[in-house]
C-alpha cells in the first residue's frame, strides 16, 4: 500500500486537490491522506469549498490561521512535520503557490519524502510577489513537476531543472470547472443581486500590493465606480480587503458596487459564467475566464499565467484608473480570437494520476 499526503491551505488549493483525489481513488494499492493547513481559517473562505467540491473531511487540520508570511509558514512546518512523522507517506503532493505549499515542500524535502508539485513552473518574474518566492523554492525541491502549460516547462528548463522531472499535464483547475459547469445556473445568484444575465461585471481583489496601499486601492476603485455607471459591478469581498476599505475610508467609491460576502465555489462560478466581464487580481480567475471565453481584466502589471493573455481572454491593465476604464471599454466593444489552451480539457487529473502511478510503481 502506497500512501499519498495531499496538502491544501487556501481556496484555490481545494479546486486542485478535489479532482486529483477523486482520480486516485480508482487506483488500487493507494491510500490518501488530506491535510488542511487552515491557512484560510474562516468557514466562508474554506469549509464551504470542501462541501461544494465533495471533498472528504480532512484527515488532519493544522489550524494555523492568520499571521505574517514567516509566522504562517513556520506554523505549517511545525504541524506538517508531525503529520509526516506519524503518516510516513510515500509521496507528498502540494498545489499552487501559497505559504502552505512552500512550508509542506520544505518539510517533505528535509524528511527525504518525495514531493510532487501540481501547477509547477509558473513565473511572474516579479520577486516582490511572495507567491513567486514560494513557486521558485517549491519547484527547486520537487521530484515531480506537474506543469499546466508549455511556458511553465520552458521556465523550468531555463532554470536548469532536468527534463525527466517535468511533466506537462494541463490545468487541473479546469477539471473542476468543467465538472461543475452544469450546476452553475443563473438562478443561484439572480435573487442575491439586482442583475441581468450578461449585463454585469464581477470584481475580485485580495492581493496586498493592491489592497494594502491606499493610493493604489483608490485608483482601482475610481475606475470601478466609473464602470458602475455602465453596468452593475458585483464584488465578493475578501475579509482582509473589507478591513482595508474601512481603514482607508474608501466606502464612498463603492456606491455603485454590489458588495457581498465571499461566495462558495458553485455560487461564485455561477456568477462568473453569466457575467459580461471580470476584473480581478487572482491568477485562478484568469484561468477560469480563459476556459469559459469570458473577457478578463487583470489589475496587475504582470501575470504568472501568460498563456491566458497570449491564447486566452485576459488583458493586463495594471492599477491606473484610466487604463482600467479604457481596457474595460475595449474588452466589451471588441471581438476576441481567444482559444482554450492545449490540455485544458478536464482530464488533467487523470494525466497526473498516470505520472504518480509510474513514479510510485503502483
- Position 67 scores a pLDDT of 85
- Based on the domain organization, do 158 and 278 belong to the same domain? no
pTM for the model stands at 0.94
Give a yes or no: residue 80 inside a domain: yes
- Position 189 scores a pLDDT of 94
- Position 333 scores a pLDDT of 92
- Position 44 scores a pLDDT of 56
Strands (E), the chain: 2-8, 30-36, 60-61, 91-95, 115-118, 144-147, 166-168, 201-204, 233-236, 257-260, 277-280, 296-298, 314-316
Question: What's the maximum distance between 2 C-alpha atoms anywhere in the chain?
Answer: 60
- Based on the domain organization, do 352 and 328 belong to the same domain? no
Give a yes or no: residue 191 inside a domain: yes
Give a yes or no: residue 175 inside a domain: no
DSSP-assigned beta bridge partners for residue 315: 297
- Is 206 one of the catalytic residues? yes
42: nearest Cα among 270, 271, 288, 263: 263
- Based on the domain organization, do 237 and 302 belong to the same domain? yes
Give a yes or no: residue 76 inside a domain: yes
- Based on the domain organization, do 25 and 111 belong to the same domain? yes
- Based on the domain organization, do 304 and 326 belong to the same domain? yes
User: Helix, strand, or coil here: 218?
Assistant: helix
Residue 352: count other Cβ atoms within 10 Å of its Cβ: 25
Give a yes or no: residue 219 inside a domain: yes
**Which of the residues 40, 69, 117, 206 is marked catalytic?**
206
Extract long-range pairs of 240-243: CB within 8 Å, 24+ residues apart. Answer: 240/206, 240/211, 241/205, 241/206, 241/211
Per-residue pLDDT of the chain (362 residues; tens, 9 = 90+): 999 999 998 888 999 999 999 999 999 999 999 999 987 656 555 667 778 888 888 999 999 888 889 999 999 999 999 999 999 999 999 999 999 999 999 999 999 999 999 999 999 999 999 999 999 999 999 999 999 999 999 999 999 999 999 999 999 999 999 999 999 999 999 889 999 999 999 999 999 999 999 999 999 999 999 999 999 999 999 888 999 999 999 999 999 999 999 999 999 999 999 999 999 999 999 999 999 999 999 999 999 999 999 999 999 999 999 999 999 999 999 877 789 999 999 999 999 999 999 999 98
Distance CA 62, CA 82 (A): 10
> CATH no. for residue 324?
3.40.50.2000
**Per the structure block, which three cell numbers stand in for 167?**
511533466
Distance CA 95, CA 42 (A): 20
- Based on the domain organization, do 282 and 145 belong to the same domain? no
Q: What total number of domains does the chain contain?
A: 2
- Based on the domain organization, do 223 and 279 belong to the same domain? yes
Give a yes or no: residue 338 inside a domain: no
Domain around 161:
2-170+344-360
Give a yes or no: residue 176 inside a domain: no
Give a yes or no: residue 296 inside a domain: yes
- Based on the domain organization, do 53 and 98 belong to the same domain? yes
- Position 347 scores a pLDDT of 98
Amino acid at each position: 500500500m502506497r500512501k499519498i499526503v495531499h496538502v491544501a491551505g487556501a481556496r484555490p488549493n481545494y479546486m486542485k486537490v478535489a479532482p486529483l483525489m477523486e482520480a486516485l481513488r480508482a487506483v488500487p494499492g493507494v491510500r490518501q491522506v488530506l491535510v488542511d493547513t487552515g491557512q484560510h481559517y474562516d468557514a466562508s473562505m474554506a469549509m464551504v469549498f470542501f462541501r461544494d467540491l465533495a471533498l472528504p473531511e480532512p484527515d488532519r487540520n493544522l489550524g494555523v490561521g492568520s499571521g505574517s508570511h514567516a509566522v504562517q509558514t513556520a506554523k505549517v512546518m511545525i504541524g506538517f512535520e508531525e503529520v509526516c512523522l506519524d503518516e510516513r507517506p510515500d509521496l507528498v503532493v502540494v498545489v499552487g503557490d501559497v505559504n502552505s505549499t512552500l512550508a509542506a515542500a520544505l518539510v517533505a524535502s528535509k524528511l527525504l519524502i518525495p514531493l510532487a508539485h501540481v501547477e509547477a513552473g509558473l513565473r511572474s518574474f516579479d520577486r516582490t510577489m511572495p507567491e513567486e518566492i514560494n513557486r521558485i523554492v517549491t519547484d527547486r525541491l520537487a521530484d515531480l513537476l506537474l506543469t499546466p502549460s508549455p511556458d511553465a516547462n520552458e521556465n523550468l528548463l531555463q532554470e536548469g531543472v532536468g527534463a525527466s522531472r517535468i511533466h506537462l499535464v494541463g490545468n487541473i483547475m479546469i477539471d473542476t470547472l468543467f465538472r461543475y459547469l452544469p450546476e452553475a445556473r443563473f438562478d443561484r445568484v439572480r435573487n442575491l443581486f439586482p442583475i441581468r444575465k450578461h449585463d454585469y461585471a464581477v470584481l475580485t481583489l485580495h492581493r496586498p500590493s493592491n489592497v494594502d496601499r491606499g493610493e493604489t486601492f483608490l485608483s482601482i476603485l475610481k475606475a470601478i465606480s466609473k464602470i458602475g455607471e455602465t453596468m452593475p459591478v458585483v464584488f465578493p469581498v475578501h475579509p482582509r480587503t473589507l478591513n482595508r476599505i474601512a481603514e482607508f475610508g474608501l466606502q464612498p467609491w463603492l456606491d455603485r458596487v454590489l458588495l457581498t460576502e465571499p461566495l462558495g465555489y458553485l455560487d461564485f462560478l455561477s456568477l462568473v459564467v453569466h457575467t459580461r466581464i471580470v476584473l480581478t487580481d487572482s491568477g485562478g480567475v484568469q484561468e477560469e475566464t480563459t476556459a469559459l471565453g469570458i473577457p478578463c481584466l487583470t489589475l496587475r502589471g504582470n501575470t504568472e499565467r501568460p498563456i491566458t493573455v497570449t491564447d486566452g481572454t485576459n488583458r493586463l491593465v495594471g492599477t491606473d484608473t484610466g487604463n482600467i476604464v479604457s481596457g474595460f471599454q475595449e474588452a466589451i466593444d471588441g471581438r476576441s480570437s481567444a482559444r482554450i489552451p492545449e490540455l485544458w480539457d478536464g482530464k488533467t487529473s487523470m494525466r497526473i494520476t498516470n505520472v504518480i502511478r509510474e513514479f510510485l510503481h503502483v
